Amino acid sequence: MTRMAGRAGRVHSSIARLAVILAVLACGWAGGSHQANAQGVFERLVMPGPLIKGHSDLEKKCAACHEPFTRASQSSLCLTCHKDVKLDRETQSGFHGRSLDSRQGECRYCHSDHLGRDADVKGLDRQLFNHALTDFALTGAHANVDCASCHKTGTKHRAAPHTCVACHKSDEPHKGRLGAECAKCHRDDAWRPAKPFDHAATTFPLNGAHAKVSCRTCHIGEIYQDMGKTCVSCHAINDAHLGRYGTRCETCHTSTNWKTLHFKHEVATKFPLRGAHAKVKCAGCHKGDLYSDKLAMTCVSCHKKDDPHKGQLGPRCERCHNEEKWRARVAFDHDLTRFPLVGRHIKVKCASCHKTKAFKDAPRACQACHEDQVHQGRIGNTCASCHSPTGWALWRFNHDRQTRFALTGAHKGVRCHTCHQTRHATKVALPMNCYSCHAKDDAHRGAFGQACEKCHATTSFKQRVRRR
């Protein structure tokens, strides 16, 4: 009886509790302002445990995640909030889209919620997780990278970057200048060395010696884009011409061998290089800019400073010289000058009269070449009045005709210097009276004046002339 009484009491107690619950539910279902409170009381009574911290604000809103008396629509309610997961499942991307179980299964199969504020409902096992089911399979060196290197604390795993530059931006030596497609040149098993790069696919194929040049030789500072394509953009610092010949290096040089020239002066210009000119270096003539500083084609335009004639023979050097050898013996017609070579002058060496290379400096006066050691300037500098180039000793002078003082009588045998005694005389003319020469011989000592010819004749000084 006692057992039956105890069992009956427990039944009555359970029925009483159920009656209370039904009464509360009845009040809620009856409508009115007490419905929400009644539902909240019921849900709190049946809730298996506190929600996680991320869902704590839904603890009084069970309907946000649960539909009463059914579990079929629970996942759809989850995806209403977790739109990113819903998109993954629809597009079959990310872990929830690539994994068949995650894409088709219910969310509650992997995630539970009523485990307390600090519970980890992700259920992620880092050691067993298959990263190949994500959008970024771990291949090559990535397979050994610690998870925390990509998945930063406090961020969702799905927020981890998928591109190379997103992770390696701080280590990227190109500073973004080559874009974000690192896989074009690098592999994921080892960052270096880079993949072979086909430079022919660019606008600057590597030909000749360029094919052997290290990348860093041209791409200084890891600069690959907007590179200059002209020779001077790389070789300006090695330009032996210092920019004088412009920027079109390919006019003379090739990429095969920088020192091998292919420029043909006789074809590309109006000045063929012949003779000694063919051996002259470019800089020998082209002192300035090759394109803006056009050179004249006359000899004197280049050889003016070397002209020993100082321009006195004019600019037409080719009249005497040739391109083969500047100092070669040349034919020159001296008769075309103002000093024709006649007589013994024909045999005289050029240097005897032309003391310098400026040939026109040579004087034409006799005394300039012939030192007057006989007359010593007593009869002036007009040597040609008596002498001829045929022979110095063969002289001719007619005193009677060429002067106003005819030599008569004893004067005919008198030597020139007897009367012309002043050396280096500035004026050869002498007085024509007797006394000017015979004053010292005047026996009268001037008593009879200076008109000696009144009593004397030129035949003999002692012979007196009788005057009537």
State how far the Cα of 283 lies from the Cα of 370, in Å rounded to an integer: 47
> pLDDT at residue 467 above 70?
no
Tokens representing 152 are 């930063």
Tokens representing 26 are 């009845």
Mean pLDDT of the chain: 82
Q: Identify the CA nearest to 160 among candidates 173, 147, 143, 144.
A: 147
Q: Identify the CA nearest to 240 among candidates 258, 228, 265.
A: 258
> pLDDT at residue 416 above 60?
yes
State how far the Cα of 97 lies from the Cα of 134, in Å rounded to an integer: 8
Q: What is the pLDDT of residues 210-260, one digit of tens each?
A: 999 988 888 887 788 788 889 988 888 888 888 878 888 888 888 888 888
Q: What is the pLDDT of residues 274-332, one digit of tens each?
A: 888 988 888 888 877 777 677 888 888 888 888 877 787 778 888 888 888 877 767 67
What percent of the chain has a predicted confidence (pLDDT) above 70? 88
In degrees, rounded to 5, the angle at the alpha carbon of residue 427 between the alpha carbons of residues 421 and 431 is 65
> pLDDT at residue 8 above 60?
no
Q: What is the pLDDT of residues 121-148, one digit of tens each?
A: 888 888 889 999 999 999 999 999 999 9
Cβ neighbours of residue 199 under 8 Å, at least 6 residues apart?
205, 206
Q: 3-state DSSP call for residue 298? A: coil
Confidence band (pLDDT; 50, 70, 90) for 43? Answer: low
pLDDT given for residue 78 in this prediction: 93
pLDDT given for residue 40 in this prediction: 56
State how far the Cα of 150 lies from the Cα of 162, in Å rounded to an integer: 9
What percent of the chain has a predicted confidence (pLDDT) above 90? 16
pTM higher than 0.85: no
State how far the Cα of 140 lies from the Cα of 155, in Å rounded to an integer: 25
